Structures are given as C-alpha cells and as structure tokens.
Structure 1
Amino acid sequence: MTKKLATLNLKGKSDSTIAKETKAAKNTVREDADKIDTANAAITAAKTKIDTADDYLNKANGYADQNAAYNDLENQIEAQQRALSATKSSSKKKSIDDKIKSLTKQKAAVAATMKKIADSAGYTKEMTAKIKAEANIKTEKKKISDLTSKKSKDSATEKALAKENAKRKAAATKAQQKANLKSIKDKVAAYKKKKPDSYGSLFERDY
C-alpha cells in the first residue's frame, strides 16, 4: 500500500530552507527509528530478567500454573486492546472495554496469588524483580506505540519535503542548463559578428 504524502504549506520558502528542512526531517525519522530500537532492546533486557526470576519462582509449589494463567490473561487483554483500537462502533467499544476490565481484575487476583506463593517460598526478591521488569515492558511498549505513530507522520513529512526538494533541484538544473545554452549561443553570435567574412575579404583584395 502506497503511503500518502503529507500536505505541507511550502509557499514562500526558499530552496535552501526546503533543503535544510528535508535534511532535518530525515534526521528526525532516523531518531524515531533509533528510539524504537532502544525501547525494543529494553524490552528484551526486561524479558531476560523475568526469565531469570522465573527460574527461581517456578520451584515454588503452584507458581508455574498461576504464572501460565497470568500470561494467558495478559495475552487476552492485549488482544482486546487491539480490538478496541480497531473498532469504531460505540457499542462494541463498551463491550470490549468491559471485557478488558474483567480480564484485568482476574489478572490482578492471579498476580496476588503468585506473590503469596513467592513470599511463602522465600522468593520475594525474585518476585519484586519480575514485577518491576513487567512494568518496564509495559512502559516501553507504550513508548514504541507512540513512537511508531510519530515515525509514520514524520516519514510522511520527510517524503513530502524530499519530493519538493527534488522538484526544485530539477527546476534549478533545467534553468541553469537553459542559461548555459543561451550563454554559448550569445558567444557564438558575438564571435561570428567579430570575425570578417573570408569570401568578402578575398573579393575586396581582387577588385
């Protein structure tokens, strides 16, 4: 699917300004991509901490089953959140929102059970580390969502500026070529005007 170019008001802006804005827009898109990469790296690091904590927590009796239930509820909530973002129907939004609230309540209850199991087994430190890592993942995912939206808009702006910049460069090149051709023609005409006609000179010498 072809992305639409952003509609920008570029009237009155000089060629040099357009060139500078094009370069700046390109840098902005690159910065957006770098920030998304950084957020993804943070999520990967947080997942590693969760895996490390789970290596201990899964030793606690009953924890593994509760953890599986927690992950399943988390996946269901994320699926419902995607559905909420996609729908435009008010009635469907309310229905989905109610499901999210119900699933979130269930997840909180499972999380409380997991914490009790971890505390009883002496893994409070590991559970705290896991909770912190999960919070970090949630923050980074929100950041990625916002940055992805920003990057899409910034990319549209960059493409529009790049198109205008290329258009102006082409026009400037064409104008320069036209000016060069006129200059050459003028020089040739001037040269011909100064140079005496060879046949006329011979005629004058013979008669």
Structure 2
Amino acid sequence: MMVVGLTGSIGMGKSTTAAMIREAGVPVFDADAAVHDLYRGEAAAVVEAAFPGVVRDGAIDRAELGKRVLGDAAALARLEAIVHPLVLARRRAFLVAAEKAGASLVVLDVPLLFETGADKDVDAVIVVSAPETVQNARVLARPGMTEARFSAIKAKQMPDAEKRSRADYVIETGEGLPAARHRVDAVLAALRCKSGEVPTHA
C-alpha cells in the first residue's frame, strides 16, 4: 500500500484538495479532524489537567486553548506531547484498516508534515500551494483572524518555498477550483500508476 503525505501552509487550499482526493475514492486520514474528535473525547480531561479552564461542556474550547499556547513555545510543546501520540495512534489504526480493506493508495492529510518529521513515514509528499497574495486574502477573510494571529501561525510553519522544494508533487490552487481539480486528477493518476493500481490489459 502506497502512503502519501498531503500538506500545505495555512490558506493554501489543503482541505479543499483533501476533499477532492477523497471524492476520487482515495482513503484520506485527516489529522485535524482527529484532533477535533480527541478534543471532544479522550484528550479533554488530560488537556484540562495541563491547561485548567479550557474545557466547556465536556469538550476543549479550541479558541481558549489557542490563546494559551500561541506564541508560548513551552506551552505548545506541553500540548503537543499530549496530543501527538493520540493522533499517531489514530493514524496507525487508519492505515491498518485501509490495508485490510485492500487499498493500494492512501493519503495522510497532516498540516505540519515536515515540521513534525512525519514526511519520513510516507512514500511521497504532495504540497498544496498558492501565491502569497491569494493565501493572505483567504486567511485574513476568516472570522476572528488578525494579522498578529496569522503571523504567529506562519512563524511555526515551514516557508512555502521550502515545502515546495521538498515535495514530490505540487498542487497549485490559486487559479480556481477547476484548475486545481485537474491537477489533483493528474497527480492521483501518477500515484495510482506508481502504486500498481492501474489495471493490466491482456
């Protein structure tokens, strides 16, 4: 089974690209969704113990937790030490289930793929990218986003140019959905060929 990493900086269109890949029939593990789920479940009590007052109605208040860790390297490291092993366990379970189901190609959607060293665990990497002007417009249009918050988020992400240089495939999303979908289809065709999924003809 071929395991492909999908990553991209904030505002580059990674979530939309992941949805296109899923629609094309490829199993996708969404690390962010796993974190959301953990914050509503098994991680809530442990994170609350480390950061008292961040749980509301039995689930982690992500906005409140974000305030506690943004710009505080020690607090962020403490949070990651709790969350990363739980996400990794979910990822392993996803891979086992996909292999049992006979998948020849799966995608791991991991925002900090390079930053956490997870690129070493995959066979190829897709980086989703867009021009900086497009990225800035998308991110600053999000509810509650400020220039300061955006800068803090970017500071902990590897620069887009470096991600692109380390990618096996780059999917550009700055020219609209039809163009992005065309690129997704082309990359998936290449990956399916590499994974041996292309049917042989007599």
Provide the TM-score with structure 2 as the length reference: 0.26
Greater helix percent: which structure? Answer: 1
Greater strand percent: which structure? Answer: 2
Higher RCO (C-alpha under 8 Å, 6+ residues apart): 1
Provide the TM-score with structure 1 as the length reference: 0.26
